[in-house]
């Protein structure tokens, strides 16, 4: 799936996109499963194009609504999301117990919270958020990577295959 959406809020501008992953880069048995079942695995990317202030609830709600609309309009879509640590989060959680965690872990927790809140507020069932945490530490030095798959429960077996592939490639 190829889709993009822009949000402008005051001086902040965001670009949200869904892009089909290159399934040819996957092992042949996974590529075959995706093709046979007509499954589209698309990566969700959120980019701040302009601005530096904290991303407000209205923007997060707008992003969530756009992604949900596309997800529910495409019954064979699995969404893949990687939580980066490239950009700091301004004034993030200054009053919470999460203030000292890495940025990508914070984004992962925020993503899960937004997903859970959306599902509860819309009384939706049958969709899962599968987070993956890869710890790359040696002798106490390193980092963790955070990924998520959003899929219908009917596609959880495919998510598990994709998850196993990620863990295998990472050597975990």
Strand order in the sheet with 2-9: 2-9, 12-20, 40-50, 77-83, 141-152, 127-138
Instruction: List the domain boundaries for the chain.
Output: 2-170
* Per-residue pLDDT tens digits for 21-39: 998 889 999 999 999 999 9
Regarding pTM above 0.85, the answer is: yes
Phi (first) and psi of residue 42, to 5 degrees: -120, 140
* Per-residue pLDDT tens digits for 69-89: 999 999 999 999 998 776 666
* Residue reference for tokens 């077996």: 157
């Amino acid at each position: 799936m190829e889709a993009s959406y822009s949000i402008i809020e005051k001086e902040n501008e965001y670009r949200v996109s869904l892009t089909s992953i290159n399934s040819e880069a996957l092992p042949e048995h996974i590529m075959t499963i995706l093709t046979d079942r007509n499954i589209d695995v698309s990566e969700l990317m959120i980019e701040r194009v302009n601005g530096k202030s904290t991303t407000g609830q209205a923007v997060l709600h707008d992003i969530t609504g756009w992604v949900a609309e596309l997800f529910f309009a495409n019954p064979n879509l699995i969404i893949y999301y990687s939580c980066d640590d490239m950009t700091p989060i301004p004034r993030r959680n200054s009053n919470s117990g999460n203030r000292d965690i890495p940025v990508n872990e914070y984004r992962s927790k925020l993503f899960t919270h937004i997903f859970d809140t959306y599902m509860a507020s819309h009384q939706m069932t049958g969709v899962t958020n599968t987070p993956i945490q890869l710890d790359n530490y040696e002798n106490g030095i390193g980092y963790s990577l955070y990924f998520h798959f959003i899929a219908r429960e009917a596609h959880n077996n495919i998510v598990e295959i994709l998850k196993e592939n990620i863990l295998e490639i990472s050597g975990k």
